A and B are shown apart, each in its own frame.
Chain A
Amino acid sequence: MKHFLTFVALVFFGLFLALFVRRNQNPENDSRPTLRIYAASSFIKQWGPGPWLKEKFESTCDCVVEYHDAADSVSLIQRVKSEPKNKSVDLVLGFDQYDLEMAQVGLDWKNVKVDPQQFEEPVRPLLSRTSFTPYDWGVLAFIGHRNADKSLPSNTDDLLAPEYASNISLQDPRTSSTGLQFLLWLIQVKGEEKAFEYLQKFNSQVKAWGANWSLAYGLFQKDQVKLTFSYVTSPVASLKENPQSDIVALPFAEGHPVQYEFLGIPSTCLNCDLAEKFVTLMLSHDGQRVIMDKNYMFPVIKSVTKGTMFEAIPEFKTIDMTVIPNQAERERILKKWSQVRRSE
C-alpha cells in the first residue's frame, strides 16, 4: 500500500509538472500577432529546421510563430479547410507536386513573389505556379552499400539480378508519396505497358513494400535488405550519424525522379505580411542552409551547398517530373498496380 501511494504521488507530480510546462508555453497569453504555420512533422520537430527558423524570425518580427503539426498532406489540406475565419492559417508547408491538385480544390492561395534568378536551374520551371513555391527538393534513387568486389546496379534491369531476389525494400505507392514517385518514374522511363511487364518480374525482388518511407528505409538500415528506394541525400544523413557509413546512392542510366516540397499562403491568412516575411527567411541563404542540413533535402536557392557535405554528392541525371498525372489518372495506374500485385 505504501509503495502504491508513493507511486501515485510520483505520477501526480508528473502531471502537475506537465500542467506547469504547458501554462508557461501558452501563446494565447501573448498579445503579439501570431503567425500560424501548418507544416509536416519532419519540419517542425526539435531536430528539424522549424525551431531555428522560429527563433530567428521571432527575434526580428515582434510576433509569435506557432507551428501546427499535420500528420500528412491530406490532413494538412483538411485542417486548412476546416479552420474558422478568426483562426485562419497564415502559411502551409509540406505539399509535394502530387498534392497541389487536391490543395487547390475549395481553397484559394495568394501569389508569392520570388526572384526566379535566385533559384537553382531544376526548380525554375516550377515557379510558373505562382500559388505554390518550392522550398526544397530531393532526387530519389536506389540506395545500397558500397561493395569493392561487386559492381552495383546501374539501371533498372540490373535490379532483376538473382542476388537482389527478395532483397529490396520499397514504399507502397498507395500509401506513400515516395512509392508513388517510383511507380510514376518507372512508367515515365519505360512506358506504361513495359513498366508493368517489368513490375511482374521485379515484384519477386522486393522483400517488402513498406507502408511508408521509414518502414522501407528501416529495413535497409537494419540490414534486412540490400537495396532501398530513398533520397540521394540519404548517405549524407547516414554519414552524420556514423562516419564509417558505406551507404551510397546509385546513379541509374534511365535518370532519376525528383520530389519538390512546396509552401503556400492561403488567401484567408490573417497575418499575410508576416507569412511573406517568413517565406523570405526560408528562401534566404541561411534559411535554406538550415532546411538542407536538418531536412536532408537540396536547397532551391543557388550556392547554398558550397562548403557542405552536400556539395560532394555527385550530380544525378534527373527526368522531367513537372508534368503531373491528374488524380483520376493516378487512381487508374494504382488500380493496375494492385492487379499486378494480386498475382504474387
Chain B
Amino acid sequence: MRNISRLTSFGLVVFLLFPFVFLILKLNAISIVDHEEVSWALKNSTLQAAGSASLALILGFIFFSGIVKIKEILGIKIFRWIEILCLIPGMLPSLFTILILMSLIHPFPMGLKGIILIHGIIYSGFIALNIYQLVQDKAQSLVEVAYILGASRTQIFVQIFRLLKWELISLWILIFSICFTSFAVPLTVGGGWGTTLEVLIFEKIRLSAAWSQALSLALLQSVLLFLFSFIQRPGAALEVGRYSQVPILGGFTSGLLLIFSLLAYYGTFLLYSFRGWTQFFQLSEIVGSTLQTVPQTLIVGVSCGAMIYMMLNLTAFGWKQKWLRRFLIGFVAPSTSLAGLIVVLLRPDYFWMQIGFFTLAFVTIVFGGLYRMGFDQRLTSLKMQIEVAQVLGAHHWLIFREVIWPQIHPMAARLAGIASLWMVGDFALSRVIFSQDIVLAQVVQGLINSYHLDIGMAVMNVVILIGLALYFLFEGFGRVFSYKTP
C-alpha cells in the first residue's frame, strides 16, 4: 500500500509538471530575456502582489468579524448566501469588477494604489471566509477561555493572530501568488506600474511569438513563487468536533460594512445588467447561444470540480510523502497563455477531447492555489491522529479511510465547488482552448468584444447562477456524505 501511495504522489507531481516539461521539449529552448525589462516587471509584480495580499488580509479580518455577526443575527441560511457572495467577485471578468469599483469609488486611484485596491476588494471576502473556517477549526478553545476570563475583543483578536500566524501567512502567500500572476487589472489601472511578469509573457507571445522567452519568464515566475513558499510553516492543531462560534468575535459595524459593501457591489452590477436584459430578449441569436452553452458549461464545471476533488483525495492518500507536501505548497502552474499553447499543440479536435483537455489544463492551473487554501493546513493538523493510528497498528489504507478521509472530505468537496465556480467564470483559458462556443463565459466574452457590453453583463448573471449551482452541488456533496458530528 505504501508503494501505491508513493506511486500516486509521483504521478501527481508528474501531472503537474507536465506543462513545463512538454513546453521545454517542444520549444527546444529557453532563452534569455532583457535583464532590465525583467527586473522592472518583477519589481512591479512583487509590489502590487504584496500590497494586494496585505490589503485583502486586513479587509478579510474586518469582514470576518462581520460574517460572525451576520450569522449570529440573521442565521445560517443568510450566512450561506453571504458566504457565496463573498466568493463571486473572484469569478467576474476584470472589466466588470473595474467598472463596478470605478463607479463606486470617486476619484478612483490609478497606479499601484488602484491595483492594490481592486485586488484587495476582490479577495477580501475569500480571506474572511478562510479566517472564519480557521477560527472554527483551530481557535475555539482559545476564544472561549479568553471570553470567560473577560478578555476584550481586541485582546482576543490579538491572540487569534498569534495562534494562527502561520495560517495567515499561508493565506497571504496564496493571495500574493494569485495577484503576482494577475494580468488585466495591473495593465488597466496600473499606469506605469502595469508592466508585470505576466504582461511581459503575454507581450512576448502576442508581439513576436517568442515562445521560448515566454517560457523562460513563466519558469522564472514559478521558481520565485516556489522559493517564496518556503516561508510557510505548519500551523496550529485542529480542534476536532468543535463547531460553534463565540459571539464576541462578531462586530456590528463590521457586519454593516460587509452588507453595505456587498449591496453596493452587486447593486451596481445588477443596475448595469438591467438594461442588458431588455436587449437580450430582442436578439434571438444571443438567446440561442446562451441556452445551448448552459448544459455544456455544467458538464465542464462538474468535470473540473470532480477532478479537483479526486486530486485532493489523492494528495491526502499520498500525504505521508513529505516531499509531495513541500512541492504542492510551492507549485505554481505556467501562465494561461502557455497552458493554452500546449492544448493548441496537442490539437484536441472533438467536443469531448476539448472538454477533457480543458479540464486537465484548468486543474493544473488552479490546483496549487486550492491546495494552499487551508487543505494543507488541514492535513498537517491530522498528524497526531495519524501517528496514534499507526501506533495502534492501523495500515495505510485504514488510516486514510477512517481517519483522514472523513475529515478532509467536506473541505475537498468545498474546494471542488470553488474550482467549478471559478471554472464557470473562466474567460482566459476557455477562449484559448475551445474552438467553438462551449461554455457560457465565451458567449459573455464575445458579447463584450462586440459592442454588447450590457447584454454581456446580463448573461453574466446566468454565469453566476450556474457557478452557484455547481458550488452548492459540491458543497452539498461534502455535507451529505460526511460523518455527522454529535
Interface of A with B (CB < 8 Å)?
A: 1, 4, 7-8, 11, 14-15, 17-19, 21-22, 26, 28, 41-42, 45-48, 51, 67-72, 74-75, 77-79, 82-84, 87, 102, 105, 166, 172, 174-175, 203, 207-215, 217-219, 221-222, 224, 234, 237-238, 241, 295-296, 327, 330-331, 334-335, 338, 341-344
The contact string, 1 if C-beta is below 8 Å from chain A, for chain B 76-117, is 000000000000000000110011001100010011000000
B-side contacts of A208, CB under 8 Å? 98, 110, 188-189
B-side contacts of A338, CB under 8 Å? 37, 195
The 6 residue pairs across chains A and B that have the minimum distance between CB atoms = A344-B192, A18-B295, A46-B285, A68-B435, A237-B451, A45-B446
User: Do the beta carbons of B431 and A41 come within 8 Å of each other?
Assistant: yes
B-side contacts of A87, CB under 8 Å? 347, 349
User: Do the beta carbons of A341 and B295 come within 8 Å of each other?
Assistant: no
User: Do the beta carbons of B288 and A46 come within 8 Å of each other?
Assistant: yes
B-side contacts of A335, CB under 8 Å? 37
Task: Give the distance in Å from the alpha carbon of A295 to the alpha carbon of B446 in the complex.
Answer: 12
Task: Give the distance in Å from the alpha carbon of A187 to the alpha carbon of B22 in the complex.
Answer: 41
**Which residue of the partner chain A has the closest CB to B210?**
A331
User: Do the beta carbons of B451 and A218 come within 8 Å of each other?
Assistant: no
User: Do the beta carbons of A18 and B199 come within 8 Å of each other?
Assistant: no
Q: How many whole Å from B434's CB to the nearest CB in chain A? A: 7
Q: How many whole Å from B341's CB to the nearest CB in chain A? A: 7
B-side contacts of A217, CB under 8 Å? 451, 453
User: Do the beta carbons of A42 and B449 come within 8 Å of each other?
Assistant: yes
B-side contacts of A207, CB under 8 Å? 110
Q: How many whole Å from A210's CB to the nearest CB in chain B? A: 5
B272 within 8 A of A: yes
Task: Give the distance in Å from the alpha carbon of A313 to the alpha carbon of B45 in the complex.
Answer: 44
Task: Give the distance in Å from the alpha carbon of A174 to the alpha carbon of B203 in the complex.
Answer: 6
User: Do the beta carbons of B206 and A72 come within 8 Å of each other?
Assistant: yes
User: Do the beta carbons of A41 and B449 come within 8 Å of each other?
Assistant: yes
B-side contacts of A211, CB under 8 Å? 94, 183-184, 187-188
B-side contacts of A84, CB under 8 Å? 347
User: Do the beta carbons of A83 and B347 come within 8 Å of each other?
Assistant: yes
B-side contacts of A105, CB under 8 Å? 209
User: Do the beta carbons of A4 and B480 come within 8 Å of each other?
Assistant: yes
Q: How many whole Å from B272's CB to the nearest CB in chain A? A: 7
User: Do the beta carbons of B191 and A344 come within 8 Å of each other?
Assistant: yes
B12 within 8 A of A: no
A-side contacts of B188, CB under 8 Å? 208-211, 215
B-side contacts of A21, CB under 8 Å? 292, 295-296
**Which residue of the partner chain A has the closest CB to B436?**
A69
A-side contacts of B454, CB under 8 Å? 241
B-side contacts of A215, CB under 8 Å? 94-95, 98, 184, 188
Looking at the complex, which one of A15, A47, A48 makes contact with B299 (CB distance below 8 Å)?
A15
Per the 8 Å Cβ criterion, residues 378-394 of B in contact with A are: none
User: Do the beta carbons of B192 and A71 come within 8 Å of each other?
Assistant: no
The contact string, 1 if C-beta is below 8 Å from chain A, for chain B 32-44, is 0000010010000
B-side contacts of A237, CB under 8 Å? 451
**Which residue of the partner chain A has the closest CB to B34?**
A335
Interchain Cβ contacts under 8 Å between A and B, 27 examples: A4-B480, A7-B469, A11-B298, A14-B294, A22-B296, A46-B289, A47-B447, A48-B446, A71-B431, A72-B206, A78-B344, A82-B344, A175-B199, A208-B110, A209-B188, A212-B449, A214-B448, A217-B453, A218-B448, A222-B103, A224-B103, A327-B207, A331-B207, A334-B207, A335-B37, A341-B194, A343-B192
B-side contacts of A8, CB under 8 Å? 473
User: Do the beta carbons of A11 and B473 come within 8 Å of each other?
Assistant: yes
Given contacts A67-B436, A71-B340, A208-B110, contact A222 B272 (CB under 8 A): yes
User: Do the beta carbons of B99 and A7 come within 8 Å of each other?
Assistant: no
